[in-house]
């Protein structure tokens, strides 16, 4: 309602339109300034006891009917409908009740009017005047709960009034509730199943009436469809019914497929640089079809994807949508998850893979997601030949700008395509893998291994080297590991002490663990040559030159002897000898005396070591001079 004039006179606020004049205390002025007179008008009508229409109330009713039809009045709809329904009861005006129902909107009328309000109208007016509007409301209402409550309440009302026509209407609406259903929620499933099972032939009814009606009103509420399909196929039903119902479910899925968009209908919020991995409702619908053995239902979506890809390309160029190639990559990933678990599904998607190959293998998208591309190629008729056509030297060089992507692609090729290779194509497959390895080795920079000791770059460099060595073994091309080992040993920095001790030795320590799963040994080529080279460099550049022989002055040697016969005969000759070690093979007391003299004189500080050898009789004291 639009206010045309507003005046304030003393404590009164005066406002009027072309239809009605309102004079109200000033404390109510805020509602009128905001043009919100609905609460005031409702209060006036509800408080009135007039049995017939008055000009003032007629004006308020017209205003409320106008406001009730406005979308922005949904917050006061229940209050307005209540005022209009009570006014219709007071005036015994069935036309006003019908006008209020239509102004409210038939889809939400039942909830706004309430079941009690509808029943009170039946008690106030003749059923013959209400049956038509009640039928429309019942058919278009989106609340199945309210629909059921209405028929139950009216059945009771019909019994009380003795109205056979009303009772007949209730029976018809209960019987045909699924024919005109406008919405099915999760909480309505049990009711819908009960109604369906009450039919003489539930499967035929579902196929010809119930499923088609539900497909028209809510085709994309797939969560409810999944609950519904699970319920109608419950194993508690007769086997013949379940078989027939499964066919009805497949037909319903074929109809639902026509409502699934081939491409997203709205532009994504963020573009990013990689294809999105979640595609709804395609992902949910695919799972639903495959769960109920209806993969053929997806074909219509794939056909529309192919027919509309140029339009999608145009939208991507002008409106911020993803290009069709990204969507195709996402669908390839989606199907891969299902076909990996159920290989028998692959023939159903043969046409899609052919179309995806035409779109993806000829454009720049080919380098966006190489792993997904490989998933596509292995589902084509001649996967290895197609792989060789795509993974050329130039392509691998371009892909090698991201070493992680190329490494992952090589691992994926080995995993996916080796089982597919036959004698005539195994050489081709090996050549592709060799190209990938050669590029990885060419771009491998051992500066990360040789520079920045104790840093993250150094640790990452060592890890990159060992991972590349392991990749050669995984791809069954161990000869290429020799090129990596050669690169690790080449360059002037490779003779540095830190590089040898922190990098080469670390890689050497990791080799046994890398080789063991592949049944290779360190003492085999090329590992043995690498081991020998590392040990030689470690000895030369870390340990340094061999120290000179141990030399003790004569006076020091003389000081070790106490002058006794065992010292003079056994110890002094051994110490004066130029050999690095010697034995004193004497009885226990003699050996004990000599050990005591060496300990007392502090011989260990000069580099002299000794121990008892218990082989032979008597035991021997072995003295090492350096």
Residues belonging to the chain: 626
Lowest mean pLDDT among 79-88, 141-150, 447-456: 447-456
Non-local (6+) Cβ contacts of 208 within 8 A are: none
Confidence of residue 33 (pLDDT cuts 50, 70, 90): very low
299 has a pLDDT exceeding 70: yes
Write down the pLDDT at residue 274.
47
In sequence order, the β-bridge partners of residue 582 are 623
Question: According to the model, what pLDDT value does residue 26 have?
Answer: 47
In this prediction, residue 131 carries a pLDDT of 92
pLDDT tens profile 534-551: 888 888 877 776 666 555
pLDDT in tens, 366-419: 556 788 888 888 888 888 888 888 888 988 888 888 888 888 888 888 888 888
Cis before 287 (ω within 30): no
Which of the four pLDDT bands, split at 50, 70 and 90, describes residue 36? Answer: low
597, 557 contact by CB (below 8 A): no
H or E stretch at 48:
none
User: 209 preceded by cis ω (within 30°)?
Assistant: no
Pick the more confident residue, 430 or 556: 430
How does residue 7 score in pLDDT terms, banded at 50, 70 and 90? very low
The secondary structure of residue 546, as a DSSP letter, is: P
> Widest CA span of the chain, in angstroms?
147
Predicted confidence at residue 351, as pLDDT, reads 92
Among the listed residues 175, 110, 158, 157, the one whose alpha carbon sits nearest the alpha carbon of residue 138: 110
Helix (H, G, I), strand (E, B) or coil at 534: helix
In tens, the pLDDT along 321-344 reads 788 888 888 899 899 899 988 989
> Cα separation of 219 and 183, whole Å?
10
In the structure, what pLDDT confidence band is assigned to residue 295 with cuts at 50, 70 and 90? Answer: very high
- Which of the four pLDDT bands, split at 50, 70 and 90, describes residue 12? very low
**Cα dihedral sign for 571, 577, 582, 584?**
negative
Class of residue 37 by CB neighbours under 10 A (exposed 0-12, middle 13-18, buried 19+): buried
CA distances from 349 to 288, 332, 355, 377 (A): 16, 10, 10, 13
Report the candidate in 551, 473, 465, 549 with the shortest Cα–Cα distance to residue 504.
465
H helical segments located in 292-402 = 299-307, 309-319, 324-341, 350-360, 370-377, 383-390, 393-399
What confidence score (pLDDT) does residue 222 get? Answer: 92
Domains of the chain by residue range:
5-175, 186-257, 282-290+302-543, 554-624
| CA–CA distance, 362 with 376 (Å, rounded to integer) | 13
Q: Tokens for 285? A: 């619908």
Report the first-to-last Cα separation within the chain, whole angstroms.
112
Pick from 207, 212, 140: nearest CA to 177? 140
Highest mean pLDDT range out of 32-46, 224-238, 566-580?
Answer: 224-238
**191 has a pLDDT exceeding 60:** yes
Going by pLDDT thresholds of 50, 70 and 90, the confidence category of residue 553 is low
| Mean pLDDT, rounded, for 283-295 | 93
Please report the pLDDT score of residue 554 as a whole number: 63
Q: Compute the distance between CA of residue 325 and CA of residue 306 in angstroms, rounded to an integer.
A: 11
pTM: 0.63
Who's near 249: CB < 8 A, 6+ residues apart? 211, 229, 232, 233, 292, 294
Q: What are phi and psi of 311, to 5 degrees?
A: -65, -40
Q: Which of 16-30, 124-138, 438-452 has the lowest mean pLDDT?
A: 16-30
Q: How far apart are CA 161 and CA 122, in angstroms?
A: 10
> Which span out of 112-121, 479-488, 544-553 was modeled with the highest average pLDDT?
112-121
- Which of 12-21, 362-371, 483-492 has the largest mean confidence? 483-492
Q: What are phi and psi of 21, to 5 degrees?
A: -110, 135
What confidence score (pLDDT) does residue 459 get? 56
> How many angstroms separate the CA atoms of 348 and 352, rounded?
9
Is the distance from CB of 300 to CB of 348 less than 8 angstroms?
A: no
| CB-based contacts of 527-536 (< 8 A; 24+ apart in sequence) | 527/485, 529/485, 530/485, 530/488, 530/489, 533/489, 534/489, 534/500, 534/504, 534/505, 534/507, 534/508
- Rg of the chain in Å (alpha carbons): 46
609 or 86, which is more confident?
86
Mean pLDDT of 497-501: 78
State the Cα angle at 420 between 418 and 421, rounded to 5°.
Answer: 65
Percent of the chain surpassing pLDDT 70: 83
pLDDT, position 104: 87
Q: Per-residue confidence at 456, pLDDT binned at 50, 70, 90? A: very low
Q: What is the pLDDT of residue 382?
A: 87
Q: Between the CA of residue 377 and those of 207, 298, 308, 329, what are the distances in Å?
A: 39, 20, 23, 12
What is the mean pLDDT of the segment spanning 142-160?
88
Identify the three-state secondary structure at position 560.
helix
Percent of the chain residues topping a pLDDT of 90: 22
Q: Which residue has the higher pLDDT, 278 or 517?
A: 517
Q: Counting beta carbons within 10 angstroms of the beta carbon of residue 323, is it exposed (0 to 12), middle (13 to 18) or buried (19 or more)?
A: buried
pLDDT band at 251 (very low <50, low <70, confident <90, very high): very high
Cis peptide before 601 (omega within 30 of 0): no
């Amino acid at each position: 309602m639009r206010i045309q004039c507003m005046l304030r006179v003393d404590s009164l606020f005066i406002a009027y339109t072309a239809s009605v004049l309102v004079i109200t205390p000033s404390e109510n002025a805020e509602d009128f300034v905001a043009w919100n007179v609905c609460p005031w008008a409702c209060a006036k009508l509800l408080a009135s006891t007039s049995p017939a229409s008055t000009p003032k109330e007629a004006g308020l009713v017209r205003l409320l009917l106008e406001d009730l039809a406005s979308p922005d009045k949904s917050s006061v709809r229940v209050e307005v409908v209540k005022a209009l329904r009570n006014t219709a009861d007071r005036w015994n005006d069935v036309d006003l009740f019908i006008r209020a129902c239509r102004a409210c909107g038939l889809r939400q009328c039942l909830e706004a009017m309430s079941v009690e309000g509808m029943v009170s109208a039946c008690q106030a007016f003749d059923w013959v005047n209400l049956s038509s509007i009640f039928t429309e409301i019942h058919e278009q209402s989106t609340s199945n709960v309210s629909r059921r409550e209405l028929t139950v309440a009216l059945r009771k009302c019909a019994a009380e009034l003795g109205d056979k026509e009303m009772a007949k209407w209730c029976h018809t609406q209960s019987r045909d509730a699924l024919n005109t259903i406008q919405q099915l929620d999760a909480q309505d499933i049990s009711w819908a199943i009960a109604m369906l099972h009450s039919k003489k032939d539930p499967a035929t009814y579902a196929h010809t009436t119930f499923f088609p009606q539900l497909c028209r009103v809510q085709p994309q509420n797939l969560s409810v469809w999944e609950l519904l399909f699970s319920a109608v196929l419950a194993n508690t039903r007769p086997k013949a019914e379940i078989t027939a119902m499964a066919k009805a479910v497949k037909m319903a899925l074929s109809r639902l497929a026509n409502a699934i968009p081939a491409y997203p209908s709205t532009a994504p919020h963020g573009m990013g640089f990689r294809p999105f991995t979640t595609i709804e409702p395609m992902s949910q619908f695919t799972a639903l079809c495959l769960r109920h053995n209806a993969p053929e239902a997806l074909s219509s979506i794939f056909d529309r994807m192919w027919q509309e890809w140029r339009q999608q390309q145009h939208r991507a160029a002008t409106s911020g949508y993803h290009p069709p190639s990204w969507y195709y990559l996402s669908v390839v990933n989606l199907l891969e998850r299902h076909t990996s678990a159920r290989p028998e599904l692959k023939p159903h998607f043969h046409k899609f893979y052919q179309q995806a190959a035409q779109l993806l293998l000829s454009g720049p998208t080919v380098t966006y997601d190489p792993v997904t591309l490989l998933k596509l190629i292995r589902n084509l008729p001649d996967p290895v030949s197609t792989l060789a056509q795509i993974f050329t030297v130039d392509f691998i060089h371009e892909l090698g700008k991201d070493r992680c992507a190329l490494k992952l692609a090589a691992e994926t090729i080995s995993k996916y395509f080796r089982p597919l290779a036959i004698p005539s194509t195994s050489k081709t497959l090996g050549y592709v893998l060799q190209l990938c390895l050669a590029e990885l080795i060419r771009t491998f920079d051992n500066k990360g291994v040789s520079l920045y000791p104790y840093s993250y770059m150094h640790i990452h460099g060592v890890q990159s080297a060992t991972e590349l060595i392991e990749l050669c073994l995984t791809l069954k091309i161990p000869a290429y590991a020799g090129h990596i080992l050669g690169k690790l040993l080449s360059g002037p920095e490779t003779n540095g002490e830190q590089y040898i001790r922190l990098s080469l030795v670390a890689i050497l320590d990791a080799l046994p663990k890398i080789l063991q799963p592949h049944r290779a040994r360190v003492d085999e080529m090329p590992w043995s040559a690498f081991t020998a080279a590392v040990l030689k460099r470690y000895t030369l550049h870390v340990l340094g030159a061999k120290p000179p022989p141990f030399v003790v002055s004569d006076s020091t040697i003389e000081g070790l002897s106490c002058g006794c016969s065992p010292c003079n005969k056994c110890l002094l000759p051994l110490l004066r000898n130029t050999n690095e070690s010697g034995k004193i093979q004497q009885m226990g007391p003699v050996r004990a005396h000599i050990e005591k003299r060496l300990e007392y004189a502090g011989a260990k500080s000069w580099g002299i070591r000794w121990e008892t050898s218990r082989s032979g009789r008597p035991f021997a004291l072995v003295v090492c001079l350096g």
